[in-house]
Amino acid sequence: MAARDDKIHIATLPWLAFCHMMPWLEFAMLVAQKGRKIPFISIPRNIDPLPKPLPHLSSLIHYVKLPLRPVEGLPQNAEATMDLPPTEVRYLKKALDVLQQPMTQLLESLDPDWVFFDFAPYWLALTAAQLGIKSSFFTICNAPMVAFLGPSSLLIHGDDERKKPEDFTVPPKWVPFPTNVAYRYYDIKSTFDCVKENVSGASDFVRRGWCLKSNDVIAVRSCSEIEPEWLQLIESIHRKPVFPVRQLPPTTYETEDKIDMWRSIKEWLDMKEKISVVYIAFGGEAKPCKPQLTELVLGLELSGLPFFWAHRNRRGIADKELIELPPGFEEQTKGRGVVCTSWAPQLKILAHESVGGFLTQSGWSSMVEALMFGRAVILFTFYADQGINA
């Protein structure tokens, strides 16, 4: 066991997706500012690119590397969701489940007072309880999404009356107040696989069900000023404390090469009129298909608006299919638009006065960033909670 001191230790284990890890890092910094020690646990290749903790928090936030073990079906060096096509992410969950024993040993060594965990390691709360460690399921989804899932018993045992995609297009019966929060058919159709068991042995519904059932506290990326009735509903459904951790807006981290890249982007934005530019970004994981790209390109051409498009042309190392824009598009829009296939400083772009709208994949982190700067959002959903966010 680690030597104890007078500071509370809170171990954290986010899901292996950078869209999860960055809000989790913001959460770690928020907690560290209260004087708490935070072992931040993840796979080595996912920790290495993370920014160093701010100097005044460096003694409190510690990156802890937990090596991933190979499993059949998972490509070599695929250690994050962005490394895989969406259909293959199930193997990453399977690989995480294999870490149950190493994670137990790590918790015994770290000896934290609490462990906060994401939806994938659904076994972690029971493991923590056996070690005398309190646990919290921390979801980066907003409160309406968590409430929409419903009671844990329905998720775990498959007792939910919602059996078909159409059943998710209306508000659930346990929501006691008027709401239009529900999936549209085309949104749930692309997400419905989360209800089914997969090669990992547990569906996403089962994982979330056990996470919601087994912990001591539910932490939600929300605040009572915006979603009070939904937070109260989650507490009522699960009969345990619900802790809103706020929206966790991101911190800007800069290196010399990023400063240089921003300088050239800013020069282009500076030449545009105020609130005239459409910023387009779908994150590192959403992958538009060819027909979607074609329609989007046609829309941009017809709009006549200036645009800056942060375009990733592939998801990751195991994704063999490039996301290619229609031939001639960049040439036709030269001067009016920019297509950036490398890293783009999203926060700085959204903060620039020339940007008026944000075409986004509707991930909650992107929505929070748009709200930070009061930008109009155009929502283009792909999967998961994005339909509910929209």
- Please give the structure tokens belonging to residue 128: 């923590």
Please check whether residue 152 is in contact with residue 210, taking contact to mean a CB–CB distance below 8 angstroms: yes
Placement of tokens 């968590």 in the chain: 146
Cα(225)–Cα(96) distance, integer angstroms? 35
Contact 242, 220 (CB under 8 A): yes
β strands within the chain, DSSP E: 10-13, 38-42, 61-65, 114-117, 134-139, 217-220, 242-244, 277-281, 307-310, 337-340, 355-360, 376-379
Whether 354 and 269 have beta carbons less than 8 Å apart is answered as yes
CA 139 remoteness from chain centre: 9
Contact 305, 291 (CB under 8 A): no
Catalytic residues: 20, 118
Locate the DSSP E strands across 258-306.
Answer: 277-281
Contact 110, 11 (CB under 8 A): yes
Q: Which two tokens stand for residue 369?
A: 């960033």
3-state SS assignment for residue 54: coil
* Joined tokens for residue 146: 């968590």
| DSSP structure class, residue 78 | -
- CA neighbours within 13 Å on the CB side: how many for 84? 20
